[in-house]
A and B are shown apart, each in its own frame.
Chain A
Amino acid sequence: MSSRERQNFVKGLLFVSPWLIGFLVFTLVPVGLSLYYSFCDFSLIERDTAGKTQAIWVGTENYRQLFQDREFYRTLKNTGLYAILSLPAGMLVSIGLALMLNAPIRGQAIYRTIIFLPSLVPVVASAMVWMWLFNARLGFFNQLLATIGIDGPAWIGDKKWALPALAMMSLWGVGNTVVIYLAGLQDIPRDLYEAAEIDGAGAIRRLFNVTLPMLSPVIFFNLIMALIGTLQVFALPFIMTGGGPERSTYMYTQYLYEKAFAYLQMGYASAMAWVQLLIILGLTAFAFWTSKRWVHYQGR
């Protein structure tokens, strides 16, 4: 390194040091620590004679128990089912909305605002609103159904309907994603459409052969983000159903949260956290692997 390079190196490190320290303390150490705890019996409240809490090494015991834990498989299944219900629906709805909101018609500013606003609503508040809408006797949906003589289900109070109901309400918050798709649509160069048209491509073919391939990097980005978000879903089911009825909406993160802070089994919860991290990393890696086939980067 020349002196200039060395100088820049020091300067650069100084500037990024806040993040570097934060990364060490709030990411790297916790991730490592939770790997260590996942091999320990650790309750956080039992203290030794010096008044310090102790983590006792138990080897792979937590993982052994975890893989025999019916609740683990149940929450895994519920979370997976929720993802399967809400992810594809969310993608279709947000791409469809973005396409419509990108059309040159009057009143787009108003349409866009209305579609976007729900994604601003704090999660607790939207939980309140939807609990009220879904209310079995007095809720809006069942009152509406009653006017046409249908006796509606109890929605989030019915173990068959609760999970689909939660997935349905997740569509209310797609506004954020729609904005990202809109930006992506507006980046597609116009001459591509002109060329396609000269070649005789109709509207449908232009959508599938120009718009969607050009949008694929953005679709890919949103898919990854949605995947990570959906697999850690917590607040909505926790507030709206508490995991019920009959644990039909009991999600992985809620189980982890309760293991850690209600049962104080920090070691067990850490093992759960690591399994969750590996699942998310695995699925993300899989998505990246398939992306070679369907994601088209311009100029690459």
Chain B
Amino acid sequence: MKRSPPELDYAIRGTKSPLPQRGQVVSNRARKSLNRLSVHLGLLLCCLGFGLPFAWMLSTSLKTLDAVSPTDGAASHSIQFIPDPVVWQNYANVVTNEKLDFPLYTRNTLIIAVLAVIGNTLSSAVVAYGFAKIKFKGRGVLFSIMLATMMIPFPVVMVSIFTLFRFIGDYTPLQMLGTFRPLWLPAWFGSAFSIFLLRQFFLTLPDDLSEAARIDGCSELGIFVRVMLPLARPALAVVALFTFMGVWNDFLGPLVYLQRPEQYTLALGLQVFQSAHGGTQWNMLMAASVLVIVPVILLFFLTQRTFIQGIATTGMKG
């Protein structure tokens, strides 16, 4: 993120007067640095609060079990952030743990994520292009319906989608329940959120581009694939990123659709592991949590600007 331009000062305090009077300048400046100091203090305090769970999780994940829960019964009243000794072995133990098959769950999550990302990005782009660049009757109505569907919570349709997948399994040779399909197949029909995001992007591209291609005898599909898609790469990246995070974080979906432990995703596996063996090995549990969080955080740092822009666009529906 870039530093905000100075004029944004006005958004919060706006102490800068356009024509400072002589003699007032000094007191203004003093007041301004005092204000800055208080904002710094407020933010420092907030960051301390927001960072604490991370710090404590990391610290716990590197401690011995004895340091985490003393066996002598009495709780130690000293908070130790720096583990002594530092046990990196915890992480190795998590990955090779028999009860929490980390490599398998990671593989399962990645399979679903890759299929969902490809499907959602492609189909959302196609639909978004239709909504942004082709003027057809009923477009406005359809688009409004699409925006409205964003308000339907998953729990509301959870039961009937489940039975729907059951029926598809019963009446066609395509098994749904007990496979990964219910978790990635719907993504191949686009999602309202991604379509909205991509449509906003396509709207910013000038119509002359597609007109020129059209005059050159390019078909609509040709224009979309050869002219629009390459230009939309940054927006496609945002959609792909959000879809990936969605799959990585999803809990209710896998809980409803996955039945056998060897199909679990990381999120589901971690919860099952916790509820079966939880309350005891907190250092292991924290190490496992760190391993689940790290990929997402890494992805964020690699794509920071794209990411923030994507979220900011979400708010522009209003």
Give the residues in chain B near A57, CB-CB below 8 Å.
Answer: none
Is there an interface contact between A23 and B50, defined as CB atoms closer than 8 Å?
no
Q: Does B302 interact with chain A (Cβ within 8 Å)?
A: no
User: Are the CB atoms of B293 and A31 closer together than 8 Å?
Assistant: no
**Are A266 and B18 in contact, with the CB atoms below 8 A?**
no
A235→B289 contact, CB < 8 A: no
- Specify the main secondary structure of chain B where it touches its partner: helix
Q: Decide if the interface of chain A is mainly helix, strand, loop or mixed.
A: helix
* In the bound complex, CA of A184 to CA of B248 (Å): 28
* B53 nearest in chain A by CB position: A129
Give complex CA distance A235, B256 in Å.
Answer: 12
Cβ contacts under 8 Å, B106 to chain A: none
Within 8 A of A (CB), among B153-197: 153-164, 166, 170, 186, 188-190, 192, 195
Separation of A19 and B149 alpha carbons in the complex (Å): 11
What is the CB-to-nearest-CB distance from B308 to chain A, in angstroms, rounded to a whole number?
Answer: 6
B153 lies within 8 A of A231 (CB): yes
**Chain A residues within 8 Å of chain B by Cβ, number:** 121
- Whether the Cβ atoms of B289 and A13 lie closer than 8 Å is no
CA distance A101 to B99 in the complex (A): 43
B29 within 8 A of A: no
**From residue A279, how far is it (CB to closest CB) to chain B in Å?**
10
Residues in chain B near residue A107, CB distance under 8 A: 40
Q: Which of B158, B270, B317 has the most CB of A within 10 A?
A: B158
Contact B136–A203 (Cβ < 8 Å):
no
Least CB distance from B312 to A in Å reads 4
A121 to B251, CA, bound (A): 13
Contact A261 B256 (CB under 8 A): yes
The chain A residue with its CB closest to the CB of B81 is A140
21 contacts between A and B (CB under 8 A): A1-B137, A20-B142, A26-B189, A30-B164, A31-B160, A34-B156, A34-B157, A101-B43, A103-B12, A103-B35, A103-B36, A103-B39, A115-B46, A124-B267, A132-B56, A137-B75, A144-B79, A179-B312, A242-B275, A273-B160, A277-B153
CA distance A214 to B100 in the complex (A): 50
Contact A104 B296 (CB under 8 A): no
Q: When the two chains form the complex, which single residue of A196, A217, A273 contacts B157, counting CB atoms closer than 8 Å?
A: A273
Closest 9 CB pairs of A and B: A22-B189, A15-B130, A12-B136, A183-B312, A193-B10, A180-B315, A217-B318, A30-B160, A221-B318
CB within 8 Å for A185 and B155 given contacts A8-B136, A18-B126, A108-B3: no
The complex places the Cα of A205 from the Cα of B4 at a distance, in Å, of 23
